[in-house]
Structure 1
């Protein structure tokens, strides 16, 4: 009983963090009818800045990392991203009233990774003084790319079987499209620059001081967008709402369990386990939607984007992050 009370207290404490407050504040002012809008160009610039900083720090860390220690968490990230898509394909996509391609696209979006949720998780961990491997953020593409590619492949196979064309699915164009997406391009560029150059000064003097402020604006935008997308979600099957509310936590807990195995086998830190769970519990808000629009054009964007933005992301940030931190404090000790 004491353990549950302790966990509950820590969970409530996490809900009061500034990062989560901006998200909830955005939802609140949108619900009250505020006309506040932030231009899409500013949103894209903020995401670019955040992912470049994450990539630069991750690349610098990889250059100094024990690659043997990083290998298992990276393989787990690939496995979890693919597993999330497979789970969605044989649960959500098979429910009554759900078009199969809509269900697969939704699973692909939830298997991919949200850069904003990753950034929020890193800030919360740092605010709480929870250490994690600097290269842990670089697990992002190991989960993101396989999930998107697998979702598009599964949808393509299903649609080709449905129309009886028998045409083979070309994998490489799908991979190429994913890699050329704006979010992954920024992240991979940052990783490469951090890995092969020495960007420490520009990170410390430019990216680092702006990081938390830009993240707070991004969380405000995400909150406003989440409320705006609620109307879209009401127009599609209620199963999407159930999936978006429950599965981010299921995905995160699966990753937490596998991350614990990596902790035991290769010494993956508790903070790294939490960050892996946060990544798995997120749903792509930048790289995923345009990639899936192009790869599964018959899927309804209102289904997968509405489910992700209006419910999935708030659940992943407001509930998932404090949940995994509280769980880690119970499992690993304070």
Structure 2
């Protein structure tokens, strides 16, 4: 009983963090009809800056890490990316009034990773002085790419069978290439590479680190406003998408948390690292995933998968998921 009370107390305190406050604030002012706008170019620049910061720190820490420490979490991240898509394929895609390719595309987007949600989680971890392996941000592509590839392959197989072209093969490399060229993953991988092969500490300490929290707050405000705007799109499709978008982030995150706990027990993966793994599993891609799926599954309805992710999935992942995973880590592992 004491452990449950402690968890609930920590959960409520997490909801009061400025990161989540700006997200909710954006939703509230949008609901009130505010005409406040943040130009798209500024939004993209902020995302780039945040992911470069995260990537630089991750790259610098990878140089100091034992690769064997990264192996099990990376395997779990890859497995989660694929598992999430299969879960969606055999739940959402089989529900009434849900087109199979729309359900698979939605599952693919929820299997892919949100860079902004990851940045929000890292800000909360640092504000709470919860240690995490900085290299854990490198788990992003291990989950993101397999999820998108799996979704496009499953959708292609389904559509080929539906059209009577069951023997037609699906090319994997173009999907991987499209994912790697996405703006979010490109920025993160560039940051990791520069952190690995250069000495970026001076520019990191003097430029990227001081700006991080302010830029993240603006990003959360924009995402809150976007989430409210996307609710109209979500109303155009089956209500099952809203149910899935609420349940899926927490379900995926808790499964990943369990896998992270296994890594914690067997390899010493930190409680903060377990939270990072859970957060990326519970997130849904908001930048690079949608264009990749539009190209890979052109018959799928973007209102279904983008509306589900932006209007419900991302707010749930940030406002509920992050506090839950941190509370669990503190209660179970003393993080």
- What band does the TM-score fall into relative to the shorter chain? over 0.9
Query: CA separation in 1, counterparts of 2:267 and 2:304?
Result: 40
Equivalent position of 2:233 in the other structure: 232
Query: CA separation in 2, counterparts of 1:310 and 1:330?
Result: 30
Equivalent position of 2:46 in the other structure: 46
Equivalent position of 1:72 in the other structure: 72
Query: CA separation in 2, counterparts of 1:315 and 1:178?
Result: 24
Equivalent position of 2:331 in the other structure: 330
Q: Within 5 Å, give how 1:244-283 maps onto structure 2.
A: 244-283=245-284
Query: CA separation in 2, counterparts of 1:183 and 1:134?
Result: 18
Query: CA separation in 2, counterparts of 1:103 and 1:151?
Result: 10
Which moves more between the two structures, 255-264 or 181-190?
A: 181-190
Paired residues, number: 334
Equivalent position of 2:201 in the other structure: 200
Query: CA separation in 1, counterparts of 2:326 and 2:181?
Result: 33
Equivalent position of 1:119 in the other structure: 119
Which moves more between the two structures, 167-176 or 113-122?
A: 167-176
Equivalent position of 2:98 in the other structure: 98
Instruction: Please state how far the C-alpha of 1:160 moved relative to its aligned partner.
Output: 1.1
Q: Matched residue of 1:229: which SS?
A: helix
Contact 2:73 2:263 in 1 (8 A): yes
Equivalent position of 1:56 in the other structure: 56
Q: Within 5 Å, give how 1:98-177 maps onto structure 2.
A: 98-165=98-165, 166-177=167-178
Instruction: Please state how far the C-alpha of 1:229 moved relative to its aligned partner.
Output: 0.5
**2:23 equivalent to 1:10:** no
Instruction: Please state how far the C-alpha of 1:147 moved relative to its aligned partner.
Output: 0.5
Q: Matched residue of 1:283: which SS?
A: coil
Query: CA separation in 1, counterparts of 2:126 and 2:208?
Result: 16
Q: Matched residue of 2:287: which SS?
A: coil
Runs (4 or more) in structure 1 with deviation over 4 Å come to none
Contact 2:156 2:297 in 1 (8 A): yes
Contact 2:271 2:334 in 1 (8 A): no
Instruction: Please state how far the C-alpha of 1:333 moved relative to its aligned partner.
Output: 2.7
| TM, length-normalised to structure 1 | 0.99
Query: CA separation in 1, counterparts of 2:299 and 2:16?
Result: 41
Instruction: Please state how far the C-alpha of 1:11 moved relative to its aligned partner.
Output: 0.6
| TM, length-normalised to structure 2 | 0.98
Equivalent position of 1:219 in the other structure: 220
Equivalent position of 1:81 in the other structure: 81
Instruction: Please state how far the C-alpha of 1:137 moved relative to its aligned partner.
Output: 1.2
Q: Deviations over 1:82-111 (max 9, x none)?
A: 100110011101111110110000000000
Contact 2:227 2:311 in 1 (8 A): yes
Q: Deviations over 1:118-170 (max 9, x none)?
A: 00000000000100011011111111111111111111111111111232111
Instruction: Please state how far the C-alpha of 1:232 moved relative to its aligned partner.
Output: 0.7
RMSD of the alignment, in Å? 0.8
Instruction: Please state how far the C-alpha of 1:294 moved relative to its aligned partner.
Output: 0.8
Query: CA separation in 1, counterparts of 2:188 and 2:275?
Result: 20
Query: CA separation in 1, counterparts of 2:314 and 2:185?
Result: 18
Q: Matched residue of 2:35: which SS?
A: coil
Instruction: Please state how far the C-alpha of 1:178 moved relative to its aligned partner.
Output: 0.9
